[in-house]
Structure 1
């Protein structure tokens, strides 16, 4: 047997207040929305159906006892329409039954009026239809009951009045200043006159004649300055620049403000109006993620809202809007590079990260980065284009900041200029340079190749260091490292720890093999079987005076501790991770060398330390 669902209205109201709407404050938006839609519906009527329409007007009237009445001169409702639309959850007076196009209206879901039950226990609606039928008085209660009566004297003119009386403890929602703030926040851009009447105060208009981006100026710079002032009111600080935005497909128009300070990467919140009614102050998904330096203020007539009317519905149209706005922001950046280089430089100082993110996928922005964004290199800070003009046939880069800092000076000394690609998007940008410059070859620096280019000692001189190298080989075997002696600049570097790419891969496989269980151990062992054993190298710099003194010393504990100390210092200087065995060796060598440096006669022998020499007298 077919049955109908029974709806517990209190449960529905609780669902709205706890899970759909973010705050009871939305009651003001829904009242304003219904009034504005009623006025839109009356405007849409043919002249013979409504021969003398009045200018749209909505009045929020607050009585001395706190009662709120909202009057509009919209299309009104007949008695059958009251039963159909006010007493049916999920139906809306903007549906096609009234004969109007759905996209002309703000509301879509038929649940807006129920939001008033979050601030009042009873809703009274008095409405007179433009069709000339008698006025209707509808009263709805939060427990699901409602009454309807025809009362031709209840309202003499066409339109609707909604009356709310605050529930206990909710009077603050109907305070005159609170009502004014809520209505102004949601509807200040509506193209109808909205006013507030309150006891002992003059009538207060709550809507503006034009949106800020609609105000025309003969001088573009004057308009830009006015929009920047508007942006300062919204953001709390004056934006760097303003971008006009327009997507006709979505009926979207507005502006984007370029933030004056660097912000976190991510989908920043935007102010979105739907048919000039505020939809959200923190909408996401409007622009691509790389455009996190822009905050938009836009009005749209086509994009769909979510059921709560506090966000945008994620559909194909929103994706196309995002793509279009991203293109407009990109065009603005390119225009800066051509016509306003000073503003571009100021922008790049703050928002270089967003530009680099765009350059990863856009060739035009890649050209902008190549020509205008400074990179850290072994020759100093310069643009990539200027770096290539130095004559290097191959552009080599260090993948991490630590690697660059450890190798930049040495790479420059051996004629291998180096770019620091250790920051966000740098590696991807360098790898894409061939798309705009076919002559460039980009390659990641292999520290092993760098070590191979360091100048070796003459064969007979290196043969004389066989004893030292033998001791070093024995000491470094514990750390999986081999010693080399080379001469290189800068002379301030006594030793350099170098891990070639192949050595790094071999070391990674060995570590994984040691930590793997029996099943994966058999799989990884196939990768561990290599014909050549590649190990990290500790390269001693023969040009450093300390290295010459150490190599001339006799074998023994002091030499071993010295080699361990140089090994640990090279790890730290190169920002390499320290294993437990490395930390133990560093501590052992440090304490042993300190002990030797401060060695003296045993305690209790009575020996006195030598006195400090007397200070020299001034001549």
Structure 2
């Protein structure tokens, strides 16, 4: 025998309050939604029907009166007594386009603040006024109202519980009605004060574009607390979406997803929607109204589907088109924007050639010749190079610049990928990554006589640094203030990493890594001593080769620190030993034999 499900309404209310709705305050939104939908249904048959919602809040009693289509007694039994049944879905169960609600649970939100809900309603189709009274324990009663309403419509009345008194305060009810329903196309009043604007600010008529811009800037400041750098109109016809994007006037954290204000059919869905824009567009905050996007059952978020994906892509295209237009019409405005939000544009440039051109032409990079755009850098340094780390750039910029090798700092986020993609927009753009060891070939050789005199010193220096896997060479280069330069290649760094892993691993891994190390070409790092530096010239002339070796170890440690290279335990020990050795020599007055 088939049996019908029994529903524990108190359990359902607990489910709504704890798991579906984020706060009891949504009861105002749900009551407004039902009232607006009832008015929409009546106006479909009678376009001249009044469109008003009157809310009275006093003494813990809240009533919401609308001029909507109302319900017959049969509809009251069918719709109000069955959880999940709604008149706002078609015969196939799909949401009807013109209505805000669709899930048949909106009225239950009243039980978040009250134990009893009464609905007095008269249908525009005819019939008497019906009174439905429901309680949170699941009981309900349907009867004829004591007096007939003069006009069709519905009045919902809540007598709030003592523990929900804060949600029934007149000021709170007015604020919530204004928050959720300020853009509704009906007149909503709370205790005699109108809370609706009527027309969304971005669709309001203004005498001039400047006046419209000022009005939207004021709207942004009221909603978000900042005056936007610019305002971008948004329009996605497939989603029935219109609105504006406000460009942040200060740098934003790209790791924090921006939140947006979303209305559905002019009823506020959420103030904190995320995922409406592509991740790269973290520099914008949106206010939009959509007719076709789907809400979740709680009506506090957007449902992820193909239409939302399409909307996100289209909004990204709108912002991208705004950037391109800004580059063409307002270069100063574009520079101001890039100074603040270059990360978002860089992220877009990774897969968009137009944005890559914009970055190439307008965004300044740190180079060995000072700040300049990539296009300017390529003109000045046709055979330029770039580094993939900030520390490497800082170590090598002065040296490479002095040798005529242009260098771009590609160590910040997205930069190295952008530099590698430049060939997509300019096949002649040759910007290769700098191999630090390659720079040694651009450094001039020392004077042959000086190198001959320094041969004993170089032999002692090579012996001191050989255990550290480093070679010593003498060169003559600018800037003269730099005594030593530590240069290593990627192959040498890989070789060093293998050796360190072998030394710290267990016996089995030591054998495996040792075999790998032997298979890798032994490309050793170099300590390049600058003979043009006065200190280096004095060190190479030291008669005490033991002291000279200690000095070279100190220069080696200083070059590692200057280049922000990681220090291995052996490097740290060498640096400490050389420092103590030189300190001991200085304390004893340089009298070592």
TM-score with structure 1 setting the length: 0.91
C-alpha spacing 1:285/1:100, structure 2 compared with 1 (3 Å): closer
Preserved CA contact (<8 Å) 1:76 1:159: yes
Question: Which of residues 339, 344, 353 is equivalent to 2:329?
Answer: 339
How big is the alpha-carbon RMSD for the aligned residues of Structure 1 and Structure 2?
2.1
Q: Is the counterpart of residue 104 in structure 1 residue 111 in structure 2?
A: no
Preserved CA contact (<8 Å) 2:95 2:102: no
Which stretch shows the higher mean deviation, 299-308 or 473-482?
473-482
| 2:519 partner SS | coil
Cα distance between partner residues in 2 of 1:100 and 1:3: 27
Once the two structures are superposed, the pairs formed by residues 286-325 of structure 1 within 5 Å of their partners are 286-325=276-315
Question: Which of residues 186, 189, 192 is equivalent to 1:195?
Answer: 189
Match in the other structure for 1:372: 362
State the Cα distance separating 1:67 from its structure 2 match: 0.6
Match in the other structure for 2:151: 157
Cα distance between partner residues in 1 of 2:49 and 2:198: 18
State the Cα distance separating 1:529 from its structure 2 match: 2.7
C-alpha spacing 1:93/1:306, structure 2 compared with 1 (3 Å): same
C-alpha spacing 1:438/1:235, structure 2 compared with 1 (3 Å): same
| 2:232 partner SS | strand
State the Cα distance separating 1:508 from its structure 2 match: 2.5
Preserved CA contact (<8 Å) 2:435 2:489: yes
Match in the other structure for 1:473: 462
| 1:302 partner SS | coil
Match in the other structure for 1:327: 317
Cα distance between partner residues in 1 of 2:309 and 2:433: 36
Match in the other structure for 2:444: 455
Cα distance between partner residues in 2 of 1:519 and 1:121: 72
Once the two structures are superposed, the pairs formed by residues 117-156 of structure 1 within 5 Å of their partners are 117-151=111-145, 153=147, 155-156=149-150
Match in the other structure for 2:341: 351
Question: Which of residues 44, 51, 61 is equivalent to 1:56?
Answer: 51
Once the two structures are superposed, the pairs formed by residues 227-238 of structure 1 within 5 Å of their partners are 227-238=216-227
Match in the other structure for 1:583: 572
State the Cα distance separating 1:347 from its structure 2 match: 1.1
Question: Which of residues 529, 537, 542 is equivalent to 2:531?
Answer: 542
Cα distance between partner residues in 1 of 2:442 and 2:512: 36
Match in the other structure for 1:565: 554
- Superposed CA deviations along residues 67-106 of structure 1, whole A, max 9, x for unmatched, are 1111001011112221222122222231226999711111
Cα distance between partner residues in 1 of 2:303 and 2:156: 29
Cα distance between partner residues in 1 of 2:459 and 2:108: 87
Preserved CA contact (<8 Å) 2:117 2:156: yes
Preserved CA contact (<8 Å) 1:290 1:357: yes
State the Cα distance separating 1:35 from its structure 2 match: 0.4
- Superposed CA deviations along residues 175-232 of structure 1, whole A, max 9, x for unmatched, are 11111000000000000000012xxxxx200101211111123422221122112111
Preserved CA contact (<8 Å) 1:395 1:440: no
Which stretch shows the higher mean deviation, 553-562 or 519-528?
519-528
Q: Unaligned stretches of 5+ in structure 1? A: 198-202, 603-619
| 2:149 partner SS | coil
Question: Which of residues 258, 265, 271 is equivalent to 1:268?
Answer: 258
State the Cα distance separating 1:312 from its structure 2 match: 0.7
- Superposed CA deviations along residues 316-336 of structure 1, whole A, max 9, x for unmatched, are 101111111111101111111
C-alpha spacing 1:247/1:519, structure 2 compared with 1 (3 Å): farther
Match in the other structure for 1:26: 26
Preserved CA contact (<8 Å) 1:272 1:299: yes
TM-score with structure 2 setting the length: 0.95
| 2:574 partner SS | helix
| 1:230 partner SS | helix
Question: Which of residues 498, 502, 516 is equivalent to 1:527?
Answer: 516
Question: Which of residues 275, 282, 296 is equivalent to 1:285?
Answer: 275
State the Cα distance separating 1:412 from its structure 2 match: 1.2
Q: Is the counterpart of residue 17 in structure 1 residue 12 in structure 2?
A: no
Q: Is the counterpart of residue 91 in structure 1 residue 85 in structure 2?
A: yes
Cα distance between partner residues in 1 of 2:332 and 2:369: 25
Once the two structures are superposed, the pairs formed by residues 379-458 of structure 1 within 5 Å of their partners are 379-390=369-380, 392-458=381-447
Match in the other structure for 2:3: 3
C-alpha spacing 1:509/1:6, structure 2 compared with 1 (3 Å): farther
State the Cα distance separating 1:16 from its structure 2 match: 1.2
Cα distance between partner residues in 2 of 1:555 and 1:87: 102
Q: How many residues align?
A: 590
State the Cα distance separating 1:591 from its structure 2 match: 2.4
- Superposed CA deviations along residues 298-354 of structure 1, whole A, max 9, x for unmatched, are 000000011111111111101111111111101111111111112112111111111
Cα distance between partner residues in 2 of 1:416 and 1:294: 39
Cα distance between partner residues in 1 of 2:173 and 2:540: 86
Cα distance between partner residues in 2 of 1:361 and 1:337: 19
Once the two structures are superposed, the pairs formed by residues 496-535 of structure 1 within 5 Å of their partners are 496-515=485-504, 524-525=513-514, 527-530=516-519, 532-535=521-524
| 1:96 partner SS | coil
C-alpha spacing 1:466/1:2, structure 2 compared with 1 (3 Å): farther
Preserved CA contact (<8 Å) 1:363 1:436: yes
| 1:74 partner SS | coil
State the Cα distance separating 1:357 from its structure 2 match: 1.3
C-alpha spacing 1:450/1:83, structure 2 compared with 1 (3 Å): same
Cα distance between partner residues in 1 of 2:117 and 2:511: 75
Cα distance between partner residues in 2 of 1:101 and 1:361: 38
Preserved CA contact (<8 Å) 1:28 1:182: yes
The ranges of structure 1 where at least 4 consecutive aligned residues each deviate by more than 6 angstroms after the TM superposition are 98-101
State the Cα distance separating 1:452 from its structure 2 match: 2.2
| 2:359 partner SS | helix
- Superposed CA deviations along residues 282-311 of structure 1, whole A, max 9, x for unmatched, are 101111111110101000000001111111
Preserved CA contact (<8 Å) 1:468 1:555: no
Cα distance between partner residues in 1 of 2:509 and 2:27: 62
| 2:431 partner SS | strand
| 2:339 partner SS | helix
- Superposed CA deviations along residues 518-568 of structure 1, whole A, max 9, x for unmatched, are 666666555323364111111111111111111111244422321111111
Match in the other structure for 1:605: none
Question: Which of residues 213, 222, 225 is equivalent to 2:202?
Answer: 213
Cα distance between partner residues in 2 of 1:407 and 1:491: 14
C-alpha spacing 1:483/1:100, structure 2 compared with 1 (3 Å): closer
Match in the other structure for 1:615: none
State the Cα distance separating 1:4 from its structure 2 match: 3.0
